[in-house]
A = this chain, B = another copy of it.
Amino acid sequence: MSSPGSDGASRPGLSRRRLFGAVGAGALAVGAGAAVGRLTAPEPASVDTQVVAFRGAHQAGIVTPAQDRMHFVAFDVTTDSRDDLVALLKKWTEMAERMTAGEQAVPDGAIGAGDYSPPTDTGEALDLHASRLTLTIGFGPSLFERFGLAGRRPAALAELPKFTGDSLDPARSGGDICIQACADDPQVAVHAIRNLARVGFGTVAVKWSQLGFGRTSSTSTTQSTPRNLFGFKDGTRNIKAEDQGAVDEQVWVAGADDQEWMAGGSYLVARRIRMLIESWDRTALHEQERVIGRSKGTGAPLGEKNEFDPLNLDAKGAGGQPVIDTDAHVRLASDEELGGIKILRRGYNFTDGSDGFGHLDAGLFFIAYCRDPQKQFVPMQLSLSRNDALNEYIKHVGSAVFAVPPGVQDDGGYWGSTLFEGQASPAEPVAEPGH
């Protein structure tokens, strides 16, 4: 991509990382005398030198093939100064671009800031690779009540209605800003969120956060379908990045949709879904499969043979009963029953120890991206919350919705610049030096 010093002025430090990345792990011992960067090769199993591009028309971390691990954080904005908030967003953008490239949050931040200053990178990712880290930012409805943003709030960013059975903990819900960190190495994701939270001190404060240990959805046809903690393949019918038509129709906001600043963006719905593991585990296989509407082993729809066989929602079995139950999860969540609605799922399994009653505090941290939550997630969840047979075994305990702005491009933009920089279209350069 570039050689040391070639574009060091605009993005210092990136070049070195890219050099190492291009040369590969075999060259990692070279330069060990300098011993500052991520030079020590970890065990082969965790080596992942792949870098996901930070810049683009859309933010990374949405249609990017889902990484294995996640750290998600929601912030309250604690300042009343719009300038301070914008300054933080600019700073975050620089740090995010560096960290997703496998660099330290700040050039030489871990040990180069001078002996008598706190390090500007916390250091726990020093020896780790980029691990396909993506960082994705979103803005919650509450942010638009401040900073003169009321007129720019998209109609699609309404608060979610209360759904039947919701048991939401305010301490795990909402937030002015969210950042989703996904990576194949959890320490890389944790490091990124921690360093962004750290530099935000005085401007934002962590409201809640969630670690996900295993992905529950595929977002690419190159990935196999993983299993959730109910033991079922999850997300078989998910929108895949390769299906450009569905992505354009269901995920990306178009300029004409609503607020022009959201063109190329999306909306993120997060739901912390506690699974009542112990009840589920005492349920017969037949009932589990009836509830889901799929075979547990193969993931095939009931009545079919293979995972990716189409749902036959009209099939009748012995006695004229539908093969896929009328309340089966797969039926109620299907685009066939929802007038063509789909969402892009990007959830993660979580286990947060025990709940004090001898049960695992475990479940699914559901993340969905869609073009308009009011037209996609809300009708889907209204249907599911009323009738889904799965409701007996789950409890929604956290909820949040965020507007996810478009990607940062080579025009001096930053996270949220289309929102904060007036009516300039995303393609129009703002008054900052370009590259």
Residues of A within 8 A of B (CB): 35-36, 40-43, 45-46, 48, 68-69, 71, 110-111, 113-119, 121-127, 171, 184-187, 190, 194, 197-198, 201, 205-211, 213-214, 222-224, 226-232, 277-278, 281-286, 288, 295-298, 349, 351-354, 356, 358-360, 362
Contacts and interface: CB of A to CB of B under 8 A. Distances in A.
B127 A209 contact: no
A224 to B, nearest CB: 5
Contact of A285 (B117, B185, B222, B286): B117
A284 B229 contact: no
B296 A231 contact: no
Nearest to A361: B209
A195 B117 CA distance: 49
Contacts of A118: 281-285
A306 to B, nearest CB: 9
A36 B297 contact: yes
Q: Considering residues A124, A125, A295, which has the most beta carbons from chain B within 10 angstroms of its beta carbon?
A: A124
Contacts of A354: 206-209
Contacts of A48: 45
B207 A288 contact: no
28 contacts: A40-B224, A42-B224, A45-B184, A71-B351, A110-B297, A113-B285, A115-B284, A116-B285, A117-B284, A122-B277, A122-B281, A124-B231, A126-B227, A126-B297, A171-B356, A185-B214, A186-B186, A187-B349, A190-B362, A194-B360, A194-B362, A198-B278, A201-B278, A206-B354, A208-B354, A209-B353, A209-B360, A211-B211
B35 A231 contact: no
Q: Pick the 3 closest A-B CB pairs, nearest first.
A: A123-B231, A115-B286, A205-B358
Contact of A231 (B36, B122, B283, B284): B122
Given A111-B285, A119-B281, 14 more contacts: A35-B298, A40-B224, A42-B224, A110-B296, A111-B297, A116-B284, A122-B231, A127-B227, A194-B229, A194-B277, A194-B360, A205-B358, A209-B360, A211-B353
Nearest to A290: B115
Given A211-B213, A213-B69, A228 B124 contact: yes
A110 B231 contact: yes
B206 A123 contact: no
Contacts of A122: 229-231, 277, 281
Contacts of A201: 278
A360 B193 CA distance: 10
B123 A286 contact: no
Contact of A187 (B71, B184, B211, B214): B214
Contacts of A228: 124
A186 B210 CA distance: 16
A233 to B, nearest CB: 8
Contacts of A43: 222-224
Contacts of A231: 110, 119, 121-124, 126
A114 B209 contact: no
Contacts of A125: 227
A43 B218 CA distance: 11
A186 B231 CA distance: 15
Contact of A214 (B186, B197, B209, B296): B186
A230 B119 CA distance: 11
Contacts of A351: 71, 190, 209, 211
B358 A296 contact: no
A274 to B, nearest CB: 14
Contacts of A213: 69, 186-187, 190, 211, 213
